Structure 1
Amino acid sequence: MDDLLFQPLTLPNGTVIKNRFFKSAMSETMGDRHQLPNRELIMLYNKWASEDIGVLVTGNVMIDSRYLGEPGNVALDSEKNLDVFKAWAQVGQKKGTPIWLQLNHPGKQMYRSIQEEPIAPSAIPISGSSASAFRIPREMTLVEIQETVTKFISAAQRAEEAGFSGVQLHAAHGYLINQFLSPADNHRKDTYGGSLDNRMRFLREIYQGIRRSVNPNFSIALKLNASDFKEEGFGFEDCQEVVKIMSDLGVDLIEISGGNYETPVFGSEYENGAGFLNYATALSKITNVPIVSTGGFRDKKQMEKAINDGVSMIGMARPFVLMPNLVTEIKQTKDFHLTTPRLTTGLSSLDKTLGPIIGVSYYEGQMKRLANGRPIKRRENAWPYLLTTVKLHGLAALRPRRQ
């Protein structure tokens, strides 16, 4: 059983992954003022690529520079400055580590501070405690839908040209593709709304357009919500159907996550309970496509059991920040267990309000330390990280964000 985590995995396109460790996407916020990856971002992935991680997935890269999900995003919507993306992709070549670019469009999950009218499948505003941070979106026209499909396809082509091993389509966490999939967010009356088949049309057109435009050995993965955990939203029954359909279309890997800005999934119950493992395990029974369960893994035995139960890869993000040599540590330590720091402002009411962004700010700060060759700092005081986030990105950055 000890060897399960270190067995190779062959994807449907023939790509061989050297082990079962999957570095899931985190929002690094290391884009410069031109939405290009900065030196720190490249050095961060150079650090991770030096370790024995099976697959590295980048933080979300926007396919349209007009529509950014948050301050510090990287965008790939032009042939200009492709050399800096080539430098980013190149860091994985030294040890043959696949690096996949996560492609995304925020849809209505775009902060007011970004100064662009958000677009979405339908003009339905974000609700809940974070609603004031976002404008009411405008319903996309059919022309805009096709333009956006084309931008996803073009971004994937540029990613391949730059030397990335694949792309991951972000169809989770309430972003645009998820908005099309969700009946709570998609009230369209045309061929992009209504039935699940229609709500999937946007995703299918993106995926099939990319598949036709790239080489067969270029991996195309999908990040999908098991559920939005939102009334009348995208639920697990819909998720199962999407997994079946995308598997039939030839997708190479599906990562399972959940929640969105309105119903974020955070906290000790998530982190200590292996996140969405039960959903991922159930999905592994209905498809031959590799399923990744992401979130909550801190214990080696728990990881081994997940693989034994049918999950193909173990998805983690923050643990790779706390311990960049995590895979080596797991291999060498029989009873490996990782604990994560619990940060606080010292005010319980503020911790409750800022809980998600406290964690995001801390890990963004630690990623910058890794990028500059410095060790991480384990501490409980949240204030230095919150203040740094505000200094870099303004008060809008204190709104809830998904990594």
Structure 2
Amino acid sequence: MTKPNPKATLASPLTLACGISIPNRIAKSAMSEQLADRHGSPTTDLQQLYAAWARGGAGLLITGNVMIDHCAFVEPRNVVLDSAEFLQANKLWAQAAKANGSKIIMQINHPGRVAVLPLLKKPIGPSAVGLDLPAMNIIRIPRAMTEAEIYEQINRFAQTARLAIEAGFDGVQVHAAHGYLLSQFLSPLANVRTDKWGGSPENRRCMLIETVQAVRAAIGKEKILSVKLNSADFQKGGLSQEESIDIALALEAEGIDLLEISGGNYESPAQLGYAPDRSAQRDAYFIDYATALRKQSKLPLMLTGGLRDVDFMNHIVANGTVDLVGLARPFAVQPDLAKQLLAGKSVLKPAKIPAIGYKPVDAYLQLAWHASQFRRISSGQQPKEIKGLVRTLIAFGPRMGFNILTQD
């Protein structure tokens, strides 16, 4: 167990095992910006958004989804980095994010069965099991991957990681949470395979472990290798907290530099505060998991989800429960949030975002509302509250439709 360090605060630097030092303990966690061009190249808007967050004082910036395969998108206008074609644009993105001393790592991902695009192509997944959501369990049933395809995607994770380092990023984060491909392999609900990639907990984590090994070989020991992992899927029969802790310990044995703790997926979006049996007012959605894991592990931990009180953040850093605090949505309304936290000010009371009471749709409305703020920040404007369901849909819906139809 990591020893408490009463002198550690949010302002303290953190040196990871790879040797890279993060200037403070505040991280901007990943949010899907949807600010690439139609081909998947980072845009000037994306550069300007990250430059604003860097000026805001965050020690670590983690990008939103960067796709490892141009044939599978989480959302339209995601960045794609599967070849050197857009390397120069990615270099400019990294430079903008690092201009004020922040470190930046690229979150690399494959959507698996939840791919939005291509619309007319059957998505892939560990098994032919669709999402337990209306229509999605009929019209988007994935095709079970062959072993050759599993190795192809492992190699793609490694290729994107190598290119990210070439572009000047300080490392990568392998996304194994929120119901995307690697998270699907970990889930007993999504992965019902009977070969070496499914069945037992050890087999279900095999793709993640082999991906981490391939990525480490691609980036070397002197760059940050992070993994984002669900503390649980918050679904009956899904990934449990007990099994997730075993996965975290296996990742520690592989020598990763940082584990980001999250939770939930499209069917149960706990990462947005919609977990069952949990008070929506509670600070730090996944603190119980972090506390339990810390008793068994010295792995540097980053906790994301629901953190709002600055005194609580300083407390969990000082007592050694976590090493970094991650915040996402608050950065969409307070680009200088890190400076505010370092000055001892808690996160502002969140804006009221429209909701209809159905979790998957409410999660989409969250995405739409915050994406509209990204566009304002990237154009040099201040974030501005969008009031009402209709205005939120108008601000994002037509753009999403256009982006889907025109994505290359």
* Farther off after superposition, 142-151 or 196-205: 196-205
What are the superposed Cα offsets for residues 54-91 of structure 1, whole Å, 9 maximum, x if unpaired? 11000011100101112221111111121111111111
- The amino acid across from 2:53 in the alignment is W
Residue 23 (structure 1) aligned with residue 34 (structure 2): no
Matches of 1:205 and 1:183, distance apart in 2 = 19
Look up the match of 1:401: none
Match of 2:224 in 1: 219
TM-score (normalizing by structure 2) = 0.91
Which structure 2 segments of 5+ residues have no match? Answer: 1-5
Give the one of 245, 249, 253 matched to 1:248.
253
- Give the C-alpha shift of residue 228 in structure 1: 0.4
Q: Is the 8 A contact 1:11 1:289 kept in 2?
A: no
Please tell me whether the aligned partners of residues 273 and 306 of structure 2 are also in contact (alpha carbons under 8 angstroms): no
Distance 2:332 2:281 in 1: 15
Task: Give the one of 160, 182, 194 matched to 1:155.
Answer: 160
Amino acid at match of 2:366: G
Q: 2:339 corresponds to which residue?
A: 328
Counterpart amino acid of 2:288?
N
Answering whether residue 117 of structure 2 is matched by residue 107 of structure 1, we say no
TM-score (norm: length of structure 1): 0.92
> Are 2:226 and 2:258, in contact at CA under 8 Å, matched by a contact in 1?
yes
Identity %: 38
- 2:80 is aligned with 1:69: no
The SS at the match of 1:221 is strand
With 158-167 and 114-123 compared, the bigger mean Cα shift is at 114-123
Counterparts of 1:2-401 in structure 2, within 5 Å, are 4-111=9-116, 114-129=119-134, 131=136, 135-265=140-270, 266-267=272-273, 269-270=279-280, 272-309=282-319, 310-333=321-344, 336-344=346-354, 354-394=361-401
CA distance in 2, matches of 1:284, 1:352: 31
Taking only aligned residues, the RMSD between alpha carbons, in angstroms, comes to 2.1
Q: How far has the Cα of 1:3 moved from its partner?
A: 5.7
Aligned-residue offset at 1:313: 0.8
Q: Is the 8 A contact 2:72 2:117 kept in 1?
A: no
Q: Provide, for residues 190-211 of structure 1, a one-character-per-residue CA deviation record: whole Å limited to 9, x for no partner.
A: 1111112111111111111111
List runs of 5+ in structure 1 lacking aligned partners: 398-403
CA contact (8 A) 2:260 2:303 kept: yes
The Cα shift of 1:237 comes to 1.0
Deviation larger for 64-73 or 375-384: 375-384
Is 297-306 or 52-61 further displaced after alignment? Answer: 297-306
CA-to-aligned-CA distance 1:120-151 (integer Å, 9 cap, x gap): 11111111246268511000001101111110
Whether contact under 8 Å (2:77, 2:403) holds in the other structure is no
Partners of 1:381 and 1:99 in 2: CA distance:
34
Secondary structure of the structure 2 residue equivalent to 1:186: coil
Deviation at 1:215, TM superposition (A): 2.8
What's the CA shift string for 1:308-364, capped at 9, x where partnerless? 34111111011112111112212224x53421001237xx56x77732222211110
- 1:395–1:343 Cα change, 3 Å: farther
Shift of 1:273: 2.7
**Aligned residue in 2 for 1:400:** none
- Compared CA separation, residues 120 and 21, structure 1 to 2 (3 A): same
Distance in 2 between residues matched to 1:129 and 1:12, nearest whole Å: 45
CA distance in 2, matches of 1:196, 1:132: 25
Tell me, yes or no, if the aligned pair for 1:21 and 1:327 is still in contact at 8 Å.
yes
Mapped to 2, the partners of 1:163 and 1:219 lie a distance apart of: 12
Letter in 2 for 1:121: P
Whole-angstrom distance in 2 between the partners of 1:293 and 1:212: 26
- Displacement, 1:35? 1.4
- Given that residues 75 and 117 in structure 2 are in contact (C-alpha distance below 8 angstroms), is that contact kept between their aligned partners in structure 1? no
